[in-house]
Amino acid sequence: MEAARARARLNAAIRAFFAEAGYDEVETPCMVPAPGMEPHIDAFQTTFVPEGGGPGRPLWLHTSPEYAMKRLLADGWERIFQLARVFRNGEVSASHNPEFTMLEFYRTPGDHRTIMADLEALVERGARTLSPSGSTKVRRPGGELDLAAPFERLTVADAFERLAGIDLPACQGDARLLRQAAAERGVPMGPEGESFDDVFFRVFLERIEPGLGVARPTYLVDWPVSMAALARLEPQGRWAERFELYAGGLELANGFAELNDAAEQRRRLVEEQALRARLGRPAYPLDESFLEAVGRMPPAGGVAVGLDRLLMLLVGAASIEEVLLFPAQGFVNTRSHSPR
């Protein structure tokens, strides 16, 4: 019960923050003709059946409102946010639920740096709102975490050097070189033939992520080009203008300076479509309305924030179950529902 009340106060603080910053709140459809193409995320599929008869039409519950919100940017909206219910099939853990709340916001003109500034100010506001004393400090396993802005900025290359002893630029995107460097540092490796991204994330989960956002939140910036996702590249093309936010052992957010090159966006989605097929996952159709809009979108920054995880951080919860009234674990474990 107390966590639900804290959520309501946090949502009100979020809406007040964005109103003061000149953002408009928007709503986009939950059922979409094409979900996100991320290789390791699966969407729930349903079918629209016309009442008068005729063939059914496949639809998916959105895994993110990103495509629709970028269409709004292309149509002239400048600052928008959404508290969206989103859905990802199969995700159940201490920090995952198949239905969860995502805070997503965009601004134009802008880039990843302007979004990072807005996000850290928002997180600080949330901390002060939920603290009885108005403090920015929260308790996490291992010590105290201060959520006062500004947050630490750390490049991916510097994180690999500092926390794993690996010179990532020297690996030149080569899986063999990164695998060799990781093995020399004692990082357990998977089977031969893994891609650069596979080896990267083995090192990341083993050595990097546990050291991020310990005393204060950390923005991990400047990602390898192969992990650009929907981000643009910096002018020299050496890294992607992407960031992730870590705090108290939780990944809270993933944001970009948004790609607005329609041809490049199509190339990336086709590549991800093929990768999904190779992994034995459904290869979703391309969202042509989104691709058309990308080419009209002005320079912008945007971010997706796991609101349930942020609430976990602010109230000191160890599991997402503690901040949801009806967590999915209840479906599996038939756990009785009781107020808390």
**What is the model's pLDDT at position 240?**
98
**What is the model's pLDDT at position 142?**
76
pTM as predicted: 0.94
Residue 24: C-alpha distances to residues 19, 20, 87 (Å): 7, 10, 23
**What is the model's pLDDT at position 337?**
37
Place of tokens 């309501």: 8
Which domains are seen in the chain, by residue range?
2-151+230-333 (3.30.930.10), 160-215 (no CATH)
236-264, pLDDT tens digit by residue? 999 999 999 999 989 999 999 999 999 99
Are the beta carbons of 96 and 119 closer than 8 angstroms? no
**What is the model's pLDDT at position 218?**
98
Distance CA 195, CA 23 (A): 40
Structure tokens at 331: 């479906």
**What is the model's pLDDT at position 332?**
55
2-26, pLDDT tens digit by residue? 999 999 999 999 999 999 999 999 9
123-151, pLDDT tens digit by residue? 999 999 999 999 999 998 878 999 999 99
Q: Which segments of the chain have a pLDDT < 50?
A: 333-340
The H-or-E segment that residue 24 falls in is strand 24-25
Structure tokens at 89: 């099939």
